[in-house]
Structure 1
């Protein structure tokens, strides 16, 4: 049997093409015969000799019978679940797993079966004969300086530059990013402005991989974690739309204007469900709406953000939903508060279960720690704070920055690392195991114009970081191993740190509560009295005097500092 294999190669891979042409012969040099040299030559009988520049090779072929392998899998659902648990219901299975994992017999059973499984695995192990067993191993703690380098910058290709308001990583391998572009300043949108948003290939910053064309500029945009071909976006006019990248640039479906939000949709989150088609959105109109992409004509549920239950609606700015907690979700508001909500509450008034008084201004970022789900991060005003669910006040926070904070997120690979973006165009990396009073690394993302950072998102593997800016640019940064690889015992140390700070805050809260009770007991009727009339006017007058006095003292100190600087400059000039 003759074996033939055809090698194919593109013409451009051969290199520069060699071109031959006909040319007449020309004499370049002429050596005339010298009869005196004839005596040095001996005439020889004519002979033929063949030479080969390459060694001789022999060819030997062996044909073996081909064998086809087939892989088949078995999906085991029914046998391992009790009769009262529906294996197709995600909530039932998660609840049953948590119940079993708390049982003491579960740990013993796993250990017993683990020994048998380990014995079977070791039978198929390969031994590295070059491995050095007794080498003096150093500590695996990474001691290098934290660094971050810029890989690519993706700029808005339109002449009218818009803010890159949101970025979402491709869920499988992080080879693409979806960026939403819009102008968020009220009534600052220029006429005939392009409405497109784009999906970029990480390796190609010159041209978008796909264009998304909505009916209104996109404020937020998010990939479906179950199906990476599907994206959902929130528009400036309050609509929500979803795209299927296999079906082109235009949205497959959009919500009806009369059933949608009345303000821009600032955040969307996918919900854990059997179909993988459900999500919910929040807007500054004070509503959180649940949607199903199979029917976007109207929302499936809605929640009015009325924390005081008195009709005063609060605008929402950001959402957080954890798939392992299908009934819980959190909403950050314009007032700086964070609302803990329960989707399964019987009455709408009971859906907001707890309120955390977070920041002085709007909450721009809200995310649970991927390793410790009871702790979450909030970013707003000039600081970032870490909270525990069962504590009313924050347990840790960063120092107040000179510039306003705009966004933040946890590292998916290191439990103690998070990132914050600021209005001055810088991005801070915080590592709370090593430093709490200042950031571990500060990166100037926008080198030219110091444009404010608007959105910060980390890739699933923790190595790449995407930061969008108000000038329409999106920068991909690669961080060093110190910020992306988990350190020895880091999880245990940070867990102990969170528990210690939570206990401290609980102790302070109980102490303050006892003091308030004692003060109320000493003045039993003073709780219902409020300053009125002349007493209120006197209090206002006293507070105004204190305020102006503080301003005068501050101004006097500044004048003294300026005088000292002037004297010092004069002395230097004289020398």
Structure 2
């Protein structure tokens, strides 16, 4: 129903006078919602209204004038007796004010608040902006992983999956090398075969590789993806062409090969794509051309004395060469816990060993440069994983905590510069994010009960494959936050590496200074010791000379006394 109610409206004319008039306004009665009435349990009455007024305003445009004026800020400014234009007076006043305890306390409190805000902002910049419907930024960093499939060794006698290599183009193919690394403990009926798997068909391998000796390492050629190079347990090098069958196309001659198992082979990214080099525990790095495998093209002996003596050579376990780097250097991880930086151009240098990095207590099983920052590289050995800078040789810039079990392999994430993976002897996979937790892993996953010997990450995404001691390769799918580049991550990691490198340089300089001071003080102590010994010897000689002189004097006096007594008696 509608009910007319009296209502007043006023108007302002050009002369700013008010004109009141009376008009009628109709109000509508809105009945309650039945659903709300059932919930409330009582009748909702809306039959009430207020008298409203309608206003019509008409005004004339008047001109106005803008005036700019200043204001004198007294609070927080200079004192009344201080002339702000006098630099000498203001400098003395600032110096006096900064010495005030209240001022120092206030500055310290403000600095702590600013530092906390900056840290919070840096932590927020690590992650992309995720906004909900209201525009609030939220990010939950909860890394996780799950096993999606397994590739089992089809042989009855199980062997260790010692090496893994993803196909450069076909991301469904994975080459796995199988071998028994326990010296002289391999069963007689153990198979020598290695396999190429299609991860979508896990029941049986797609292709079999039949070497003369079990393969310890295996790598795809990025130039010609049909070719694989493999290093055998007996020290020979061979390559396969998947178009030619399971037998090796060519093997290296035994007399010119390694004398120990070949633990690492790397392809050189040249125009031809046929050059490779290998590393073994016999202390040699051999360069090969697969077009002629009779003998190596170059030979490098890892002798720290740089004399080329194999008896003093360091056994090579891992190796790293970044093909995108202009510098012709490669890194070799040794059994003795040293990383040796070598020059690849042996024919143009008389000093192939550039420098050495020391810091581990056991064999370095994994060695890899950061794909985004090649000057920094990762090493996995003994109970720790360490990140190094080429500019610091005495110590690593970042190191993990010491674990209870051995670390056997590790690698960087191809999509995130702050993430790397490690596997341990207890069958555990650890995922690290140095921006989030430099000392502890952000994800610890128990993959199996036996030891994990190898790990590789697919370049396309973060699909991780882990090879175990019993020859089972497990494929793990990482959560999206582990395989997505975060906001400002490159800049933050670069800043972190530079900061830690600078810190280690300062510590290294202080260590050298203390060492020189100790050395100089020891030399001074030795010189002072010699002077003291000479003084003691001189004093001893003078003492005994004085004693002898006194004895002689006493004897002479005794003789004179006796002669005088004899004369008196006569």
TM-score by length of 1: 0.66
Pairwise CA distance, 1:495: 0.8
Structure 2 match to 1:269 = 266
Structure 2 match to 1:508 = 507
Pair 1:293 & 2:295 matched: no
Pairwise CA distance, 1:173: 3.7
1:422-437 matches, within 5 Å, as 422-437=424-439
For residues 88-141 of structure 1, the C-alpha deviation after alignment (integer angstroms, 9 at most, x for no partner) is xxxxxxxxxxxxxxxxxxxxxxxxxxxxxxxxxxxxxxxxxxxxx9976554x7
Distance 1:527 1:457 in 2: 57
Structure 1 match to 2:463 = 464
Pairwise CA distance, 1:461: 2.1
Distance 2:294 2:139 in 1: 53
Assess if the C-alpha contact under 8 Å between 1:382 and 1:404 holds in 2: yes
Assess if the C-alpha contact under 8 Å between 1:142 and 1:482 holds in 2: no
1:228 to 215, 225, 229: 225
Pick closer, same or farther for the CA change 1:245–1:394 going to 2, 3 Å.
same
Assess if the C-alpha contact under 8 Å between 2:298 and 2:346 holds in 1: no
Alignment coverage as a number of residue pairs: 392
Structure 1 match to 2:324 = 324
1:172-183 matches, within 5 Å, as 172-183=169-180
For residues 251-302 of structure 1, the C-alpha deviation after alignment (integer angstroms, 9 at most, x for no partner) is 1111000010000000001112110111100000000001111111111101
Distance 1:345 1:212 in 2: 33
Distance 1:216 1:495 in 2: 44
Structure 2 match to 1:484 = 483
> Could you tell which deviates more after superposition, 421-430 or 459-468?
459-468
Pick closer, same or farther for the CA change 1:367–1:526 going to 2, 3 Å.
farther
Pick closer, same or farther for the CA change 1:527–1:212 going to 2, 3 Å.
farther
Structure 1 match to 2:315 = 315
Assess if the C-alpha contact under 8 Å between 2:399 and 2:439 holds in 1: no
Assess if the C-alpha contact under 8 Å between 1:340 and 1:353 holds in 2: yes
Pick closer, same or farther for the CA change 1:526–1:418 going to 2, 3 Å.
farther
Structure 2 match to 1:454 = 453
For residues 187-207 of structure 1, the C-alpha deviation after alignment (integer angstroms, 9 at most, x for no partner) is 011112211000000111101
- Structure 2 portions without partners, runs of 5+: 1-130, 528-570
Tell me the SS of whatever aligns to 1:279.
Answer: strand
Larger radius of gyration: 2
Tell me the SS of whatever aligns to 2:285.
Answer: strand
Structure 2 match to 1:381 = 382
> Could you tell which deviates more after superposition, 506-515 or 322-331?
322-331
Pairwise CA distance, 1:225: 1.1
Assess if the C-alpha contact under 8 Å between 1:520 and 1:526 holds in 2: no
Distance 1:500 1:172 in 2: 37
Distance 1:137 1:317 in 2: 53
1:113-512 matches, within 5 Å, as 139=137, 143-309=140-306, 311=309, 312-325=312-325, 327-345=328-346, 350-392=351-393, 393-446=395-448, 450-512=449-511
Pairwise CA distance, 1:309: 2.8
Pair 1:519 & 2:521 matched: no
Pick closer, same or farther for the CA change 1:134–1:355 going to 2, 3 Å.
closer
Pairwise CA distance, 1:445: 1.2
For residues 387-434 of structure 1, the C-alpha deviation after alignment (integer angstroms, 9 at most, x for no partner) is 000111100010000111000000000000000000000010001111
Assess if the C-alpha contact under 8 Å between 2:413 and 2:462 holds in 1: no
Pick closer, same or farther for the CA change 1:134–1:262 going to 2, 3 Å.
closer
Pairwise CA distance, 1:344: 2.1
Distance 2:398 2:496 in 1: 10
Distance 1:304 1:296 in 2: 19
- Structure 1 portions without partners, runs of 5+: 1-132, 529-575
For residues 447-476 of structure 1, the C-alpha deviation after alignment (integer angstroms, 9 at most, x for no partner) is xxx110000110002320010010110011
Pick closer, same or farther for the CA change 1:149–1:294 going to 2, 3 Å.
same
Pick closer, same or farther for the CA change 1:135–1:179 going to 2, 3 Å.
same
CA RMSD of aligned residues (A): 1.9
For residues 132-183 of structure 1, the C-alpha deviation after alignment (integer angstroms, 9 at most, x for no partner) is x9976554x7524111011111111001111111111111142110000011
Structure 2 match to 1:560 = none
Distance 1:142 1:156 in 2: 41
Tell me the SS of whatever aligns to 1:269.
Answer: strand
Assess if the C-alpha contact under 8 Å between 1:411 and 1:462 holds in 2: no
Structure 1 match to 2:73 = none
Tell me the SS of whatever aligns to 2:432.
Answer: strand
Assess if the C-alpha contact under 8 Å between 2:361 and 2:382 holds in 1: yes
TM-score by length of 2: 0.67
Assess if the C-alpha contact under 8 Å between 2:306 and 2:353 holds in 1: no
Distance 1:385 1:134 in 2: 39
Distance 2:473 2:441 in 1: 22
